[in-house]
Each structure stands twice: as C-alpha cells, then as structure tokens.
C-alpha cells in the first residue's frame, strides 16, 4: 500500500498558513500580556496603600516619610513590617538601576513606586499649612494621589519620592517635562511624555487606578497631588 506524502506546494501552503496565524496571534498575545502586567502593577499599588493604612493606625495618623527623615533605604522598609511579601517592582518596570544593574549616584533603585512628597511629614508645613503629614488633616483622600510609578531612568530613578511642588510652569509642555524627569507618566500606555500618557496612581483612601497625566495634573492650583489644589 502506497502512502501519500505532502507535495512541495502543499507543504509551502501549510507553512504559509501557520506563519499567518502566528502573525495574527502574536500581537493579541502581547496585548494580553501587557494587560496582565498593568493589572499586577495596580494590585501592587493597592497592597502598598493597604499596608500604609495599617501603618497609619499604629502611628496615630502620621503618614509615611521620605528618605529625608532618615528612614533607611526607603519607606518600603516600614511597610514590609506589615506585609513582608509586598511586591516592590512593577512587572512593567524596565529600569536598569535595580541591584545588579547600574547605581544612580551610588544608590540602587529599591522600588518601582514612590510617594508624593506633599503628604510626607518632612514636607515643610509653611509650604502647605495644616497638613504636615497627618491623615487627620487631609480632606478628600479619595481624590489625593499618594503613590506613583517612579521614573525608570534618569537622576531620580533611585529616590523614594517625587516633588510635585517643583512641576508648576505656565507652559503645559514644561509641566509634562518636569513631571517626566521624576515619574514614569506613560508606564501604562498612552502617548509617551504627553498629557495623554497613562500611568497607575495610588490614592490616599487606598484605591488605585489608571489615569492620564492631563487628568491628574492641570496646573499649580489644580492637581491631585497638592491637598490645597484638588480639582
């Protein structure tokens, strides 16, 4: 009994079909992978905010401080006392400055995330009267950003906080550039380095969400970082 083998033409057709299917499926699989990474990143931020609330309870409402307060390498050390399994690195983070990579001014990156300095006890009360790092003095915590995704590269890649007080400028493009120097405003997509850049933000009430930079920062007098400038 004779067995029938594929002809060369049939083999080429089969290979072409397989190649076409791969070309169609790869972008879809890539998009699904990125969506999963974004979801995991949001989950990390929610865990950080949950640990922060435990910290607040134990510290009579006093919020986390920055490394300026001599807390060691990061506020992350304080939060890991409440959850030792906190995930400090976002699956989206491509920074080359974690341990094993290249240090920034002698320091390695400790986390993908950073806190808003406006909410730290070390932020000068004279610049923000009435807050001074106490949750009891903050109105509308559900609209106030606490955690952000720190910039992957640059001189600020290894710090544990961002400085929104230094971003104001009459020119919107300059505002974006100032924020981009510290924060990865396009970590979750959107047009890079623009008002349409999308990132993940943790809010002081404990929730996290994706928002464009244009939604979280409009001007010095209207933004979601300064408790005195909430929209």
| pLDDT in the model for residue 191 | 94
Q: d(Cα 159, Cα 189) in Å, to the nearest integer?
A: 23
Does an H or E element contain 199, and which? strand 198-203
Both tokens assigned to 164:
């929104």
**Domain-located, residue 228:** no
pLDDT at 6: 63
Whether residue 1 is contained in a domain is answered as no
Cα→Cα distances 26→22, 23, 30, 35, Å: 6, 6, 6, 14
The residue assigned the tokens 């609330």 is 53
| pLDDT of amino acid 9 | 77
pLDDT at res. 184? 98
Q: 3-class DSSP state for residue 64?
A: coil
**CB-CB contact of 187 with 89 (8 Å):** no
Residue 2 lies in a domain: no
CA 107, 154, 101, 98 torsion: positive or negative?
positive
CB-based contact 63:220 (threshold 8 Å): no
**Residue 143 within a domain:** yes
* Total of domains in the chain: 1
- At 11 the pLDDT is 76
Asked if the structure places residue 20 within a domain, the reply is yes
Residue 147 counted as domain residue: yes
Domain extent at residue 72:
8-223
The answer to whether residue 107 is domain-embedded is: yes
Flag residues of the chain having pLDDT under 70: 1-6, 28-32, 69-73, 124-132
The burial of 64, by beta-carbon neighbours within 10 Å (0-12 exposed, 13-18 middle, 19 or more buried), is given as buried
Element (H, E) at 24: helix 8-58
Residue 145 lies in a domain: yes
Look up residue 152 and give its two tokens. Answer: 């992957």
């Amino acid at each position: 009994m004779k067995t029938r083998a594929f002809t060369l033409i049939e083999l080429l057709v089969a290979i072409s079909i397989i190649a076409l299917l791969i070309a169609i499926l790869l972008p879809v699989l890539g998009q699904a992978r990125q969506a999963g990474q974004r979801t995991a990143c949001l989950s990390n931020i929610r865990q950080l905010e949950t640990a922060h609330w435990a910290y607040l309870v134990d510290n009579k409402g006093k919020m986390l401080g920055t490394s300026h307060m001599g807390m060691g390498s990061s506020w992350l050390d304080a939060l890991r006392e409440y959850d030792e399994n906190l995930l400090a690195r976002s699956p989206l983070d491509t920074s080359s400055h974690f341990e094993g990579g290249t240090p920034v001014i002698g320091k390695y990156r400790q986390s993908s995330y950073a806190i808003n300095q406006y909410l730290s006890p070390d932020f000068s009360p004279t610049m923000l009267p009435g807050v001074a790092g106490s949750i009891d003095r903050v109105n509308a915590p559900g609209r106030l950003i606490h955690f952000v995704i720190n910039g992957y590269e640059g001189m600020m890649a290894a710090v544990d906080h961002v400085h929104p007080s230094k971003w104001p400028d009459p020119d919107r493009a300059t505002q974006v550039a100032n924020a981009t120097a510290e924060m990865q405003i396009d970590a979750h997509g959107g047009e890079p380095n623009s008002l349409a850049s999308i990132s993940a933000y943790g809010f002081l009430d404990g929730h996290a969400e994706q928002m464009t930079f244009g939604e979280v920062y409009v001007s010095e007098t209207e933004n979601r970082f300064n408790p005195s400038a909430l929209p």
